[in-house]
Amino acid sequence: MTASSSLPLVARVVEVVRENARICTLVLDRHLAAEPGQFVMAWLPGVDERPFSLARARPVTLTVASVGPLSTAVNALRPGDQLWIRGPLGRPFALPEPGVHGAGRLLLAAGGYGVAPMHFLAERALEQGWHVDAVIGARTAEDLIFRDRFAALGIDVRVTTDDGSLGQAGLATDAVRDLLERGDYRALYACGPEAMLEALERLSTTCKLPAQLSYEGTMRCGFGVCGTCARRGWLVCRDGPVKDVGWT
């Protein structure tokens, strides 16, 4: 963390995209030197400060679900309104070194609004010559977002919904397991609910496939002082949010 990343910067909203009834994507007038997997702390005076993964860094783009007072207030912002951001913070994803035969295949899995940082990673991986497959999971068809954005990148997207209202019925982890049995992947990346990530951690260990998993736990300070995000001796904001599994 640099001195500048610890200080809040005022930004203005330049665009708001309504993803569904409770999720918006906000484009701000700030640019950050950030990598996929990193996050910013967003602050509205008199409301609260909370972490949000970067959906893009240039310009700063945040995909926010209304789940509490701050996220609801952020989703009510309109072009021209101000939002203070602090960052970039956290440990980002890392892409493997290309093999002797060049870059291979990567599998990206996203649950819920974890699709936003995974789309950022997909863009970066494609720029470096990787072939990318993706699994996007949601509870229902109405909850699914970013499918068209992944498809626009030329990525083969497997969709799952818990209730079977769109794509494959069941969990994203089921689709990941199916793809791992069929494909030859260099690494697995994921962001989503903790139960999903824990299942993928076990799966990657069983398959002996290196994985990087982004845990988006509750964070308060953003740089490892308060201890709010402690997870089994691991501070999500300082040591993560990206966790290595079998990574060398």
Please report which confidence band the pLDDT of residue 3 belongs to, taking 50, 70 and 90 as the band edges.
Answer: very low
Give me the pLDDT at residue 217, please: 64
What is residue 100's predicted lDDT score, i.e. its pLDDT?
46
Q: Please, are residues 154 and 178 in contact by the beta-carbon 8 Å criterion? A: no
Angle between helices 172-182 and 194-207 (to 10 degrees): 20
Residue 241 in this model has a pLDDT that exceeds 90: no
CA distance 147 to 159: 8
Instruction: Quote the CA–CA distance of 244 and 38 in Å, as a whole number.
Output: 15
Residue 103 has pLDDT above 70, yes or no: no
Q: 15-53 burial string, b = 16+ CB within 10 Å, else e? A: ebeebeebbbbbbbebebebbbbbbbbbbbeeeebbbbb
Q: pTM of the entire structure?
A: 0.91
Q: What is the pLDDT of residue 222?
A: 67
Q: What is the pLDDT of residue 119?
A: 95
Contacts by 65-70 with C-beta closer than 8 Å and gap 24+? 65/22, 65/23, 65/112, 65/113, 66/22, 66/23, 67/22, 70/42, 70/44
Q: How many residues are there in the chain?
A: 248
Dump pLDDT digits (tens) for 38-84.
999 999 999 999 999 999 999 999 999 998 999 999 999 999 999 99
Q: How far is CA 56 from the centre of its chain?
A: 10
Digit-coded pLDDT (tens) for 171-184 = 999 999 999 988 78
> What is the average pLDDT across 24-39?
96
The overall average pLDDT reported for the chain is 89
CB-CB contact of 183 with 175 (8 Å): no
Give phi and psi for 124, each to the nearest 5: -65, -40
What DSSP string describes 164-222?
SSSSEES-HHHHHHHHHHH---SEEEEES-HHHHHHHHHHHHHHT--EEEE-----SSS
Confidence of residue 246 (pLDDT cuts 50, 70, 90): confident
Question: So what's the pLDDT on residue 1?
Answer: 47
Residue 29 is predicted with a pLDDT of: 97
Confidence category of residue 221, pLDDT binned at 50, 70, 90: low
C-alpha atoms less than 13 angstroms from C-alpha of 207 in its C-beta half-sphere = 23
**Closest to 32 (Cα-Cα) out of 86, 91, 79, 72:** 86
* Cβ proximity of 212 and 241 under 8 Å: no
Q: Which pLDDT band holds residue 123 (cuts at 50, 70, 90)?
A: very high
Average pLDDT over residues 100-117: 84
What residue type is 160 in one-letter code?
T
Taking residues 30-36, report their average pLDDT: 96
Q: What is the mean pLDDT of residues 126-147?
A: 94
Higher pLDDT residue, 194 or 82?
82
More confident residue, 246 or 143: 143
pLDDT for 41: 93
Tell me what percent of the residues of the chain surpass a pLDDT of 90: 74
pLDDT of residue 97: 80
What tokens appear for 125 in the block?
């991986």
